[in-house]
Amino acid sequence: MLHRKARSRLLASLALVAAGALAGGCGDDNDKADQPAASTPAAPTMFAVTATSEGKKKKALEFPSTVKAGLVTITLTNQDTIARSAGIARLVGDHTVDEFRKVVSQRGGPIPDWIEDGGGVYTVPPGETKSVTQVLAPGKYAISDDETTEGDGEGESLADLGAKGEFTVTGPASDAELPAQPATLTAKDYSYEFKGFKAGKNMVRFENTGMELHHAIMFPINKGKTIADAKKAFTSDGPPKGPPPVDFAKKATRSAGVSQLASLPLRRRAAR
């Protein structure tokens, strides 16, 4: 299994993918004619999650206790004043969300075999709603908020403040598939590939073809900065110097052990 230090390096490299996608620029609108048409999606089941708060020390995620197996659209509505998330993972066997949280909060060590099929909705700004669509297999799932009270990993874990729980995916396994999309981001073990990104709104298919859970964190590159600046910042061992090369406040996160669809806005960047 992939150790967390190795997974952190992979996470950093995938963050640079996103920086590259945002910085690389895009063609004119006429390029749309060259893009393959998205296939007609099957009607997904809706799974609505609401992020709530009672002050700074009590956080919660409200969601149904069950959802039917198959194609599911997970929607997170953030009613809090800070960014919120609703990450999910399937728990194989008699395990709990607290056991899951204990594993993911530890540094080092392999990911247990009983944690499978990640995904969910990540980094939703205050007052906004975002969604992803993925195929859920039957079983018990943990759901938790991986954000922190101060953001960027600082402060207390929102899951530890109550934003966590479990739900069950019921019924037989489904043979439903996600529809193809012009924009794709494919994660492999220690590598990645992205195609079809354009300025404006993208419906992105995030595909994990590796053996491990993978993530992609995407940041717009700040004005006056370059891909080289972003790469240097992400690979540096020392503390950052000067203004950051990317806008951390506008990150977009994809996280999945399986495939999922998500809307991703990309801004046009002039060629340098």
Query: pLDDT, tens digit, for every residue of 217-246?
Result: 777 788 888 888 888 887 877 777 778 888
- Asked if 6 and 127 sit in the same domain, the reply is no
pLDDT tens digit sequence for 249-271:
655 655 555 566 666 666 555 44
Instruction: State how many domains the chain has.
Output: 2
Strand ranges inside 171-232, DSSP E:
183-188, 191-195, 200-208, 214-218
- Asked if 83 and 127 sit in the same domain, the reply is yes
pLDDT at residue 148 greater than cutoff 90: yes
- Asked if 172 and 195 sit in the same domain, the reply is no
Q: For position 192, what pLDDT does the model report?
A: 73
Q: By the 8 A CB rule, do 216 and 192 touch?
A: yes
Q: By the 8 A CB rule, do 214 and 208 touch?
A: yes
- Asked if 223 and 172 sit in the same domain, the reply is no
Domain boundary among 148, 176, 204: 176
Q: For position 36, what pLDDT does the model report?
A: 43
183: phi then psi, degrees, rounded to nearest 5: -100, 125
Q: By the 8 A CB rule, do 158 and 124 touch?
A: no
Q: What is the β-pairing status of strands 200-208 and 183-188?
A: parallel
pLDDT tens digit sequence for 162-176:
999 999 999 999 888
Q: By the 8 A CB rule, do 202 and 264 touch?
A: yes
Q: Which residue has the higher pLDDT, 43 or 145?
A: 145
User: What gap in Å lies between CA 249 and CA 36, rounded to an integer?
Assistant: 32
The CATH number assigned to the domain holding 165 equals 2.60.40.420
18: phi then psi, degrees, rounded to nearest 5: -65, -40
Q: Which two tokens stand for residue 15?
A: 């963050």
219: phi then psi, degrees, rounded to nearest 5: -130, 140
What range defines the domain where residue 31 resides? 1-41+178-272
Which residues are CB-contacts of 239 (< 8 A; sequence separation ≥ 6)?
A: none
Instruction: Answer whether 0.75 is exceeded by the pTM.
Output: no
- Asked if 76 and 27 sit in the same domain, the reply is no
pLDDT at residue 104 greater than cutoff 80: yes
Q: Which of 80-89, 92-101, 133-142, 206-215 has the lowest mean pLDDT?
A: 206-215
